[in-house]
Structure 1
Amino acid sequence: MNLLINELYKEDIKHAATLELPWKKLSGKTVLLSGATGLVGSFLIDVLNYRNAEFGSNTKIIALGRSRQRIYDRFGLQGDTDLFKAIEQDVNDDLCPELLSQNADYVLHLASNTHPLQYSTDPIGTIITNIIGLRNMLDFAADKKAERFIFASSVEVYGENRGDTERFAEDYLGYIDCNTMRAGYPESKRAGEALCQAYMKQRELDVVIPRLSRTYGPSMLKTDTKAISQFIKKGVDKENIVLKSEGNQLYSYSYVADAVTGVLYCLFYGKSGEAYNIADPDSDITLKDMAKAIAEYVGTEVIFEIPDATEAAGYSKATKAMLDSAKLKTLGWKADYDMKRGLTRTIDILRTI
């Protein structure tokens, strides 16, 4: 799919790329990102490419992914340029000589298994990307004396709400049953955050940790099996929305443009060693209300269906997970897309590509 020709998507990129941020920090610098073709990583690269094209930012981008050609295809390139380099690298493997020969001023580890089918069919890969893959990226950043490292963590580190808070602040720690297959994702994100703290102490690396809420948007992968992604796909195809539970789960969500600007605020303004929640109260919604909103927008219905065993194994057991983003807002960040605008925008964009 070619998002870059869609006018609405280009508006989103321009909006993020023209925020009043200290972009000069990236001028003449090199930014390395894992997960370059993922939901968040690809949007962030689009923003950096826009800054280079429209403002002459002269920021070199090193994009890591499992397929070099997929990277080129995603960003409409025939090959590397002076300001863009694609490197085929599974971050869980030993880093290749091509990557090790590069330098980077900022390193962002955005690669991760982030949806239920991956959790249930590749639980090993889910864990090691958040630990071994992270370690490889931390070693690279420390060896190259990078100015700052970003580890994209998750709302899932908070576990289940114990009923003692309405929203998860950064110092909240809920319950996770670690002796389950599904615990691999949240526990490895927790371990990853601890690993970042170890590298700060032992390798003197500057690290900031954005904790993303459930993120969605037009840059989502076709293989994404999160409930919201499935709902959106049905909406795009004007099919009935399939709800595989009663739909009472209440979660925080973020449109990808807001998630990326949150990451940028962490990159530019975040305090070293701190974690910051990225979420907005206007995007808190239950699954059934979300399904209803999409169905009403596209003129279809919501139907209920029992998930199969493989799907169910990857589902979160948390029924209420809302983030408190007050800490990030003290840095100046705010969300610009509420739930209704984000959903309808995503559907409208995906319908045209």
Structure 2
Amino acid sequence: MNLLQNEKYIEDIRSVAAASLPWERLSNSSFLITGAGGMIGSFLIDVLMYRNQKYGMNCKILAFGRSVHKAEVRFRDYWEQKTFEFTAHDINLPLGNEKYRTVDYILHAASNTHPVAYATDPIGTVTTNVIGTNNLLDFACRHKTKKFVFASTVEVYGENQGDTDYFKEDYCGYINCNTLRAGYPESKRCGEALCQAYRKQRELDVVIPRLARTYGPTMLSSDTKAISQFLKKGAAGENIILKSEGTQLYSYTYVADAVSGILYTLFYGKAGEAYNVADTASDIMLKDLAGIIAEVSGTKVVFELPDAVEAAGYSKATKALMDGEKIRKLGWKPGNDIKRGLCRTLEIFKADKKVGRGETK
């Protein structure tokens, strides 16, 4: 599926690209994006390339990922353009590429982000968020980066201790660090701490958008998060499989809104600050989320026990709602509540018989 041939997806890109932001700061600049083929990175690349094509922004996109072949498929519309360059690189390895004198902006969005990946590649999960982040931060300092954006997650808050309804940016809940599943949230916490260390010791301007559970048409076909599985089943006209009672209450964000939130933190975020990218209109119980997808798809919700690998990667948090007041003060407003975002995703998926084809990691 070529997303850039889907009108609804193009509408999402246009919407973010038309946001009232100081885009002129990106004119004639360079922007490095890790995790370029992932859900967040690929959408941001589409937005920036749209700005280049329609507004003459002339921002050079330096896309980092692991697979040249997958990148060639996903970014075939840009592959020969002068403002796009893809580099195959595992960021757990040092970045010795010195051909760029400066890299003006960096978004670090490379990470394992779903349960099966946490369970089957726990070492890679931790090292990407710690060693990889350190490599990128050092690279940023050597290349005179103006701003470094570290894409973090709601999972850094851990489990709600019953002392709050919504997580503010200074909340710190419980994580049992002596478990396999702890590798993701603990390494993301460590990544944030590294950002603070580089800000203090090497005076790097770092900002940290913390994303709610993100979904949308750029999700990978390999994504095993519950919402991703529900959407793929719904798009295929199959019953939605719920592998729990579904009483987990979470914040979600449509990918277009997540990327616009990242851009607001890039342009307006204060150095060293974290910002929750979340909105109460997308807070929902898992069973209700499954119900919406089943209703829109004309299918049913059925219950099934998870296998051992899936269960090992599941979050233990049963209530994880994010307070988005701080980012709203920057001017950010989401364009999609949970039902609209789910419907848009399903419509885009259904435009192609093979859900997820052409997406990369």
TM normalised by structure 2 equals: 0.96
Match of 2:99 among 98, 101, 105: 101
CA distance in structure 1 between the aligned counterparts of 2:233 and 2:28, rounded to whole angstroms: 43
Residue in structure 1 matched with residue 20 of structure 2 by the alignment: 20
Residue in structure 2 matched with residue 132 of structure 1 by the alignment: 131
CA distance in structure 1 between the aligned counterparts of 2:136 and 2:291, rounded to whole angstroms: 41
Residue in structure 1 matched with residue 283 of structure 2 by the alignment: 284
Matches within 5 A, 1:106-255: 106-255=105-254
Q: Which amino acid aligns with 1:143?
A: R
Q: Which runs of 5+ in 2 are unaligned?
A: 353-361
The higher-RCO structure (CA 8 Å, 6+ apart) is 2
CA distance in structure 2 between the aligned counterparts of 1:148 and 1:245, rounded to whole angstroms: 41
Cα deviation per residue 1:219-254 (whole Å; 9 max; x = unaligned)? 000000000000000000010000000000000000
Instruction: Give aligned-pair identity as a percent.
Output: 63
| Mapped contact 2:133–2:191 kept (Cα < 8 A) | yes
CA distance in structure 2 between the aligned counterparts of 1:67 and 1:310, rounded to whole angstroms: 25
CA distance in structure 2 between the aligned counterparts of 1:101 and 1:345, rounded to whole angstroms: 41
| Superposition deviation, residue 202 in structure 1 | 1.1
Q: Which amino acid aligns with 1:69?
A: H
CA distance in structure 1 between the aligned counterparts of 2:69 and 2:220, rounded to whole angstroms: 16
Change (3 A) 1:69 1:77: farther
Q: Which amino acid aligns with 1:197?
A: Q
Of 113-122 and 87-96, the range deviating more from structure 2: 87-96
Cα deviation per residue 1:163-200 (whole Å; 9 max; x = unaligned)? 11000000000000011110000000000000000001
SS in 2 for 1:71: helix
CA distance in structure 2 between the aligned counterparts of 1:201 and 1:78, rounded to whole angstroms: 38
Matches within 5 A, 1:50-61: 50-61=50-61
Q: Which amino acid aligns with 2:260?
A: T
| Mapped contact 1:92–1:133 kept (Cα < 8 A) | yes
SS in 2 for 1:33: strand
| Mapped contact 1:253–1:279 kept (Cα < 8 A) | yes
CA distance in structure 2 between the aligned counterparts of 1:118 and 1:206, rounded to whole angstroms: 31
| Mapped contact 1:166–1:322 kept (Cα < 8 A) | yes
Q: Which runs of 5+ in 1 are unaligned?
A: none
Number of aligned residues: 351
Matches within 5 A, 1:245-324: 245-324=244-323
CA distance in structure 1 between the aligned counterparts of 2:177 and 2:79, rounded to whole angstroms: 44
| Mapped contact 1:65–1:87 kept (Cα < 8 A) | yes
CA distance in structure 2 between the aligned counterparts of 1:43 and 1:96, rounded to whole angstroms: 27
| Superposition deviation, residue 80 in structure 1 | 4.2
CA distance in structure 2 between the aligned counterparts of 1:81 and 1:320, rounded to whole angstroms: 45
Q: Does 1:74 align with 2:56?
A: no
| Mapped contact 1:154–1:211 kept (Cα < 8 A) | yes
Cα deviation per residue 1:76-110 (whole Å; 9 max; x = unaligned)? 2474432111001111112253xx32231001100
Residue in structure 1 matched with residue 357 of structure 2 by the alignment: none
Change (3 A) 1:172 1:78: closer
SS in 2 for 1:146: coil
| Mapped contact 2:78–2:84 kept (Cα < 8 A) | no
| Mapped contact 1:63–1:71 kept (Cα < 8 A) | no
Q: Which amino acid aligns with 1:4?
A: L
| Mapped contact 1:207–1:272 kept (Cα < 8 A) | yes
Residue in structure 2 matched with residue 86 of structure 1 by the alignment: 86
CA distance in structure 1 between the aligned counterparts of 2:306 and 2:69, rounded to whole angstroms: 35
CA distance in structure 2 between the aligned counterparts of 1:241 and 1:254, rounded to whole angstroms: 20
Cα RMSD (Å): 0.9
| Mapped contact 2:247–2:287 kept (Cα < 8 A) | yes
CA distance in structure 2 between the aligned counterparts of 1:207 and 1:293, rounded to whole angstroms: 38
